[in-house]
Amino acid sequence: SVERGNVSGATDAADGSRGEDDAKDLPSTVDVDDDAFDEETREEEARRATARDGEGVFSATHALGAFVINRRVPILVASFFVVLAAGVAVAEGLSVAEKPPPLLRPDTNLQRVQHLLFDVFYTENWSTVRVAFGVSSVDRSGADPNDPTSFGLPVWDEAFDFSKESVQRGVLAACEVFTRARDTLRFTPSAGKEECAMQAFVRDMGLSDERNGATNESVPWGADLPSAFAAWSVGNGRAWRENLGWAEAEGASALAFLTADYFVDLHPVASTSGEIRAVFQAWEAATRDANEAMARAMREYEKGEDAVGKKNVPVVVQACDVWNRLGVEESIRHTAFVSPPVSAAAAAAIMFAATRSFRVTVAALATIAAAVVLMLAALVAAGWEFGVVEELCVTLLIGSSIDYCIHLAVAYAEAETEAAAIASSSALLDRRHEKVKLALGHVAPTITGAAVTTAVSCAMLLFCQVEVLVKIGATIVANTVVGYGLTLLLFSALVATYGE
């Protein structure tokens, strides 16, 4: 037993010496870089956070795609009836604005003052209609459209020779036409005279002749009348002196043109477009009658009717500042009717070039049309009248409505290969579903960000004091919301059902 114990002790000693030798071969400490470890930890956490965010966005877009695909038929039916109801509301409730829009918001002090001045304290208002003899037209080829004082150059009427008796009597006959139509032309009696300088001259000469026991046949018709006309304008006719345009020295040169100012009962701002249009048409008719009366008078006092042809008869023209409103409104209205089909054609061309798909293009146009109808219905619901500002806003609708559709359409077209690989079968309907899911997954977050930034930035216009900017901002914000919603729902449902 002693021997066995000695052997056992020797073995343990040998094992202990080997353990000590192995321990000597190991490093006494392990060097660890704490900064590198923290950096790797942070990067790993960032990757996990990014993955979680991506999974959240993917799950949201995947849920949206599943919702559109599963509810595509109810979405299409509901969209049809909503757009139909909106179209009926637009057809029945849309009215044309008869007055120009206010410059500022109604709650601003300056707009209140303007309301008091124009609508409360004014008891009688008028505009000036100027009738001109001796001017055939205006050459605006050299006029600057950005300069409000640049009107162009007058084109003188070569047939207006005021030294001839026939022209003098023709001017008098034309002026008599306007005087007889005073009721139709809406003259304002208290605003000023209702006759032209020629009528006043003949009247004063007739009164002078009566006081002298003579007749009005002593009026110096012919070559002597211009000098007598000039002398009269310095005395009794000084109220009409500014209406006589002499070529050079007053009375010693030819009378180049003659004007007559008539004051009509039209407010420059508060009058409605219907009132202005009615008076304008009356003045146009009276001007045609005045031209005919001048031609008849000239033929009567000229030797032989053939001596006075159409080219030898001076032209009578009329103009008024308020007529410009009709021209501006007509131009903008024409633009509002022309721009939608032109914009739709451009949108269709761009969409087809980007997707090479006729069905996708039709779906995009249907979505844009629905957005425009819903926006017009929103204008009606807000109580807006279809005026100059609203017509300008309509031109923005189609262009801004295509922004979101085209991104989703391109993503849908580019997802063909990937969708075919993912689809469980080769059926066309399944591949459409996969394309919609992939398209929404790729661009729905981008579209959402674009819509939010556009709506938020344009919403700042809602706080402006200028009414035009407020309406433009409201239109853009509402159209962004409508276009965004219809793109994700209606357009996705259309291409999921009828896409290629």
Span 144-163, mean pLDDT? 83
**Per-residue pLDDT for 252 more than 50?**
yes
Instruction: State the average pLDDT for the chain.
Output: 79
**Per-residue pLDDT for 444 more than 50?**
yes
The percent of the chain in helix, strand and coil, each rounded to the nearest 5, is 70, 10, 25
Distance of CA 181 to the CA centre of its chain: 38
- The per-residue pLDDT for 270 is 76
Q: If you search the block for the tokens 């031109």, which residue do you land on?
A: 395
Alpha carbon distance 305, 308 (integer Å): 6
pLDDT in tens, 103-146: 777 777 777 776 676 666 655 568 889 999 998 888 888 878 77
Q: Is 53 exposed, middle or buried (0-12, 13-18, 19+ CB in 10 A)?
A: exposed
- The per-residue pLDDT for 284 is 95
Residue 191 vs residue 59, higher pLDDT: 59
Alpha carbon distance 180, 184 (integer Å): 9
**Per-residue pLDDT for 76 more than 90?**
yes
**Per-residue pLDDT for 265 more than 80?**
yes
Number of other residues whose CB lies within 10 A of the CB of residue 178: 27
Alpha carbon distance 176, 267 (integer Å): 25
pTM over 0.85: no
Q: Which two tokens stand for residue 340?
A: 């939608």
Span 172-187, mean pLDDT? 91
Band of pLDDT at residue 258, cut at 50, 70 and 90: very high
**Per-residue pLDDT for 191 more than 80?**
no
Q: If you search the block for the tokens 């903008």, which residue do you land on?
A: 332
Domain spans of the chain, in order of start: 68-97+330-498, 123-314
Contact 151, 138 (CB under 8 A): yes
- The per-residue pLDDT for 215 is 47
- The per-residue pLDDT for 85 is 94
Q: Residue 264: enclosing H or E segment and its boundaries? A: strand 255-264
**Per-residue pLDDT for 429 more than 90?**
no
Helix (H, G, I), strand (E, B) or coil at 142: coil
Q: Which two tokens stand for residue 325?
A: 């409103």
With b for 16 or more beta-carbon neighbours within 10 A and e for fewer, the 374-397 pattern comes to: bbbbbbbeeebebbbbbbbbbbbb
Alpha carbon distance 104, 246 (integer Å): 45
Span 20-28, mean pLDDT? 47
- The per-residue pLDDT for 427 is 53
**Per-residue pLDDT for 18 more than 80?**
no
The most confident of the ranges 132-146, 181-195, 205-219, 480-494 is 480-494
φ and ψ at 215, to 5 degrees? Answer: -110, 170
Q: How far apart are the first and last CA of the chain?
A: 96
474 torsion bin: left (phi>0), alpha (psi -120 to 50), beta (else) = alpha
Residue 375's closest CA among 458, 481, 269? 481
CA distances from 399 to 229, 361, 363, 468, 486 (A): 62, 15, 16, 19, 15
Span 16-24, mean pLDDT? 47
Contact 428, 496 (CB under 8 A): no
Alpha carbon distance 337, 395 (integer Å): 9
Span 236-250, mean pLDDT? 89
pLDDT in tens, 290-335: 999 999 988 887 754 445 555 678 899 999 988 988 887 787 777 7
In the beta sheet, which residues pair with residue 132?
259, 317
Which class is domain 68-97+330-498? mainly alpha
The most confident of the ranges 27-41, 99-113, 354-368, 377-391 is 354-368
Q: Which of 77-81, 189-193, 258-262 has the lowest mean pLDDT?
A: 189-193
Distance of CA 428 to the CA centre of its chain: 43
Residues in the chain: 500
Residue 494's closest CA among 369, 373, 400? 369
pLDDT in tens, 374-415: 988 988 888 888 777 777 777 777 777 788 888 899 888 888
